[in-house]
C-alpha cells in the first residue's frame, strides 16, 4: 500500500467506474485504497477523491467488489501503525500534601465511599463520618508528615511511579502503562482518557491489591466502570484477577521476608502476617450458599466455591504458602488484620487485630517480632505509619524490643 502524510480529505465511498471514464487530475499526494480484498486485483487507475480534486488515490479494482473505501493518510497510517495495549495500575490514592485541608479532603473521599465504610444506616454513617473528620485529619496529617519524603513526597505515589516506570521498561513499546488512583490524582479518569486518546486496542486493569475485597478491588472496578461510561469508552477492558497465590507474587514476597527473619524464622521470636482489615460482612456476602462463611468453624481453611472469593480465606492461603516455603513452625507465626480503632464499635472487622496481637506477644515475653504485610504492593501510610511507627511503639510499650 502507498501512503503519504498530510491528506486532509475525509474518508468517502465511491463506486468503481470504467477506466475510460476516470477523470485524470494533476497528481498531488497519493494514499492507499482499502477498497477490496487482496485476491483478484487486475489494474490500477486514478480516481477523484473529492469534488475539489485536491487529492488523488491509487485504486486497485478487484474482480467481485463493486465499491471501494478511500481513506485519508492519517487513517492509513493509523491502520498500519502497531496497536498498543494499555495498562492501568489501580490503587487507593494519597493526599496531595500533608496540609490539613488536603488530608481532610482525601479522607472524606476515601471514608465517604460506601464500599469502605460499610454502614447501612445512612444517618449513623453520616454521624460517624462527621465525627471522624472532626478529629482524625490532624492526627493523620502528622502521620503523613512522619513518612513524607522531602523530595519525592508521598511514598505510595513515588513507589507506584517507580513500579509503573519499571513495568514500562520491562514490557516495552507495545504497552502504555498508567497509574489510576481511586481518590486522588493521577485518577482513573485521567489514565483512561489518556489511553483512549492513544487508541489502544484494549486496557488491562490491574488492581494493586493481591486479594479480592469489596473495599479495595471491588471499589476500583466499580469506579472504573463508572468512569468508562462517563467517557463513553468503547475500548475493551480486561481485569487481572486476584494474584494472592500467584507464583511470581509469592516468590517476590519470599525474597523480602527471608532477608529479615532468616532461615525458618531463626532471627525473630515470632512472625505476624498482617493484612488490611475489612468489615466481616464483606466476607460473608461472598458466600453465595450463606451456609459456610462465619457459620462453620475453620471456614477460611475450607477450599470450596463458598470461600473462593472470601477475602479472609485468600489471606490465609497467602500466609499458608509463605510459611510453608519459609518452613515456619505453626507456633511461630500468626495471621492478623489492621483496622481503625475509631470504627471498631460501629463495624465488625476481620479479626484478630494486629495491634492487639503485638501487645499480647510483647506481654508473653516475645522480644523480637517481624511483621509482614502481604496485602500491600507498595509502602504507604498503613505499612510505614500504622505498622512501622505506631506498631513499633505499641510493641515496645508492652516490653518488646
pLDDT number for residue 295: 63
First to last CA, the chain: 73
Give how far the C-alpha of residue 301 lies from the chain's centroid of Cα atoms, to the nearest Å. Answer: 27
pLDDT number for residue 281: 81
pLDDT number for residue 32: 37
pLDDT number for residue 78: 53
Angle at 249 between CA 245 and CA 255, to 5 degrees: 125
- For each of the chain's 401 residues, which pLDDT tens digit applies? 322 333 232 333 333 333 333 344 343 333 333 333 333 333 333 333 333 333 333 333 344 444 444 545 555 555 556 789 999 999 999 999 999 999 999 999 998 887 777 777 788 878 888 888 888 899 999 999 999 999 999 999 999 999 999 999 999 999 999 999 999 999 999 999 999 999 999 999 999 999 999 989 999 999 999 999 999 999 999 999 999 999 999 999 999 999 999 999 999 999 999 999 988 888 877 766 666 666 666 766 667 666 678 899 999 999 999 999 999 999 999 999 997 665 666 678 889 999 999 999 999 999 999 999 999 999 999 999 999 999 999 999 999 98
C-alpha distances in Å from residue 269, one per residue of 106, 258, 316, 357, 383: 38, 14, 21, 14, 20
pLDDT number for residue 369: 96
pLDDT number for residue 128: 81
pLDDT number for residue 300: 67
Give how far the C-alpha of residue 179 lies from the chain's centroid of Cα atoms, to the nearest Å. Answer: 8
pLDDT number for residue 132: 83
Contact 321, 246 (CB under 8 A): no
What distance in Å separates the CA atoms of residue 68 and residue 34, rounded to the nearest whole number? Answer: 7
What distance in Å separates the CA atoms of residue 222 and residue 93, rounded to the nearest whole number? Answer: 16
Give the number of other Cβ atoms within 10 Å of residue 298's Cβ: 7
pLDDT number for residue 385: 93
pTM of the model: 0.76
Contact 211, 318 (CB under 8 A): yes
Give the number of other Cβ atoms within 10 Å of residue 74's Cβ: 14
What distance in Å separates the CA atoms of residue 69 and residue 10, rounded to the nearest whole number? Answer: 11
What distance in Å separates the CA atoms of residue 121 and residue 136, rounded to the nearest whole number? Answer: 22
Beta bridge partners of 48: 56
pLDDT number for residue 344: 63
Structural domains of the chain, with CATH: 85-239 (3.40.50.1400), 247-398 (3.40.50.1400)
Q: 341-370 in b/e burial notation, b at 16+ Cβ within 10 A?
A: eebeebbebbeebbbebbbebbeeebeebb
Long-range contacts made by residues 174-177, C-beta under 8 angstroms, separation at least 24?
174/82, 174/84, 174/85, 175/84, 175/85, 175/86, 175/87, 176/84, 176/85, 176/86, 176/87, 176/200, 177/87, 177/89
pLDDT number for residue 53: 34
- DSSP per-residue codes, 255-275: HHHHHHH-GGGTTSSEEEEEE
What distance in Å separates the CA atoms of residue 72 and residue 56, rounded to the nearest whole number? Answer: 10
Amino acid at each position: 500500500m502507498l501512503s503519504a502524510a498530510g491528506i486532509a480529505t475525509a474518508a468517502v465511498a465511491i463506486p468503481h467506474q470504467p477506466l475510460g471514464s476516470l477523470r485524470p487530475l494533476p497528481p498531488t499526494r497519493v494514499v492507499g485504497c482499502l477498497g477490496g480484498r487482496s485476491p483478484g486485483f487486475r489494474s490500477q487507475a486514478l480516481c477523484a477523491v473529492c469534488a475539489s480534486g485536491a487529492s488523488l488515490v491509487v485504486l486497485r479494482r478487484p474482480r467481485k467488489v463493486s465499491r471501494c473505501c478511500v481513506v485519508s493518510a492519517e487513517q492509513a497510517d493509523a491502520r498500519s501503525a502497531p496497536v498498543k495495549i494499555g495498562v492501568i495500575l489501580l490503587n487507593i490514592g494519597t493526599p496531595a500534601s500533608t496540609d490539613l485541608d488536603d488530608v481532610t479532603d482525601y479522607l472524606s473521599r476515601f471514608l465517604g465511599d460506601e464500599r469502605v465504610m460499610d454502614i447501612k444506616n445512612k444517618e449513623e454513617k453520616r454521624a460517624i463520618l462527621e465525627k471522624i473528620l472532626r478529629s482524625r485529619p490532624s492526627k493523620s496529617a502528622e502521620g503523613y508528615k512522619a513518612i513524607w519524603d522531602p523530595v519525592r513526597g508521598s511514598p505510595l505515589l513515588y513507589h507506584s511511579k517507580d513500579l509503573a516506570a519499571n513495568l514500562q521498561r520491562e514490557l516495552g513499546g507495545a504497552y502504555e502503562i498508567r497509574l489510576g488512583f481511586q481518590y486522588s490524582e493521577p485518577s482513573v479518569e485521567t489514565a483512561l482518557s489518556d489511553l483512549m486518546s492513544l487508541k489502544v486496542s484494549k486496557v488491562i486493569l490491574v488492581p494493586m491489591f493481591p486479594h479480592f475485597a469489596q473495599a479495595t478491588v471491588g471499589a476500583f472496578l466499580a469506579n472504573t466502570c463508572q468512569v468508562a461510561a462517563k467517557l463513553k469508552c468503547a475500548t475493551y477492558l480486561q481485569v487481572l484477577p486476584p494474584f494472592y497465590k500467584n507464583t511470581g507474587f509469592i516468590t517476590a514476597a519470599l525474597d523480602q521476608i527471608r532477608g529479615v527473619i532468616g532461615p525458618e524464622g531463626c532471627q525473630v521470636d515470632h512472625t505476624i502476617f498482617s493484612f488490611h482489615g475489612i468489615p466481616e460482612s464483606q466476607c460473608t456476602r461472598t458466600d453465595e450458599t450463606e451456609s459456610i462463611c462465619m457459620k462453620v468453624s475453620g471456614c477460611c481453611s475450607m477450599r470450596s466455591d463458598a470461600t473462593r472469593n472470601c477475602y479472609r480465606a485468600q489471606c490465609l492461603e497467602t500466609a499458608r504458602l509463605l510459611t510453608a516455603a519459609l518452613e515456619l513452625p505453626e507456633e511461630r507465626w500468626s495471621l492478623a488484620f489492621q483496622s481503625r480503632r475509631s470504627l471498631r464499635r460501629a463495624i465488625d472487622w476481620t479479626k484478630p487485630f494486629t495491634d492487639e496481637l503485638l501487645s499480647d506477644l510483647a506481654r508473653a515475653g516475645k522480644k523480637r517480632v517481624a511483621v509482614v504485610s502481604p496485602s500491600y504492593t507498595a509502602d504507604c501510610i498503613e505499612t510505614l505509619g500504622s505498622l512501622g511507627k505506631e506498631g513499633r511503639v505499641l510493641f515496645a510499650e508492652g516490653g518488646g524490643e
